[in-house]
Amino acid sequence: MHGKAVAACTPYIPGSFDRPPRNPAEKINSGYKAWEFLLYLYGLGPCFFFGILPDKYWEHYCLYVRAVQLLIQKSYRLHFIRPSIHTPSHVLHETARIGPGIIYSQWTMERTIGNLGQETKQHSNPYANISQRGVRRCQVNALLASVPDLIPNEGPPQGSRQLDNGYIMLTATDNVSREVTLQEARALREFHSEHGDIRSEDWEPKVVRWARIKLPNGQIARSQWKEDGLPLSNIRMSRNVKTLHALAVGSFYGPPHEELLRRSSNTYYTVQHQRDVDVRAFPISNPQYIQIFNGREPDGTHNDRWFKMQKPGIVVSAV
């Protein structure tokens, strides 16, 4: 049941999170990827081990997860190849001794071996072939570093609209202005009032909806308007963000469960969705990375309860 619950999270994990974790009961000893382990243990774990592990072990585990989350933030960039107990025990001392782990991490080497191996074509002499591909890669990188103008500028996609601060509105889009719900109209009136543009109670706003927006960190968020038309089995939800004159209207989540947040060392952030009770308009100016939410009540039952998981290392990858 635990393994099936982990696999069932896939529709709620945006595509920008890369490979979602598969059912660990079936796949954990059959090519389980490093990234799957990362999301499973440091993202989904605080929720899915709650009620399964005894409380004292769950709280201790959450304390460890929180420590890892702190260590992989921008100021101390550390990457893990596979979850282990031995390596993290050295992380703090080695970071103080020789600096952030990105300097000596094997992650970069693993990635380089993988993408150079994909270019190998001469299987009769693969080692010489991959060496030459590495030399060619170095030559190209040196040339691009010396003459940056050689890097092609593809420009924004067709039909998109470029905004300030690196945001790009992406299609699909409405071909006409459309009316909004009563809750959305109220949120828009409140937004205009906060910015000195007072609107009357009988003002009926109309909007042109956009399906997607590309964030400055490279992730793409989608609107509920487009995602609701897709079956759950074919979707990787991308409409949850932390929060032209681009404007978004969204329904907000409520406050976190304080006791579980405290006991889990701030790793199990579980909330309820307010839906039409709390609808607000807000500028698209500083969303902080796509989230996924999917969870259960503090008593272990499923009843419109959600929890937060942020993509590990997103600040590092956006640098």
Where along the chain do its domains lie? 127-151
Is residue 132's pLDDT more than 50?
yes
Does residue 317 register a pLDDT over 70? Answer: no
Q: What pLDDT, in 10s, does the model give residues 23-67? A: 999 999 988 988 899 899 999 999 999 999 999 999 999 999 998
Task: Quote the CA–CA distance of 172 and 44 in Å, as a whole number.
Answer: 32
Check: pTM over 0.85? Answer yes or no.
no
Average pLDDT of the segment spanning 80-91: 63
Strands (E), the chain: 161-162, 168-173, 178-179, 206-207, 210-214, 220-222, 247-251, 270-272, 279-283, 291-293, 305-310
- 165, 246 in Cβ contact below 8 A? no
Can you give the pLDDT at residue 300?
59
Which residues are 53's β-sheet partners? 50
pLDDT of residue 246: 67
SS3 137: helix
Q: For 198-253, how does the pLDDT look when each residue is reduced to its tens digit (9 = 90+)?
A: 888 888 899 999 999 998 888 888 888 888 888 888 888 888 877 645 678 888 88
Instruction: Note the pLDDT of residue 209.
Output: 92
The reported pLDDT for the residue numbered 59 is 96
Over the stretch 279-295, which tens digit does the pLDDT of each residue have?
A: 888 777 655 544 555 55
Hey, is 210 helix, strand or coil?
Answer: strand
Instruction: Work out whether the CA dihedral 59, 64, 69, 71 comes out positive or negative.
Output: positive
pLDDT beyond 60 at 104: yes
Burial class from Cβ neighbours inside 10 Å (0-12, 13-18, 19+) for residue 199 reads middle
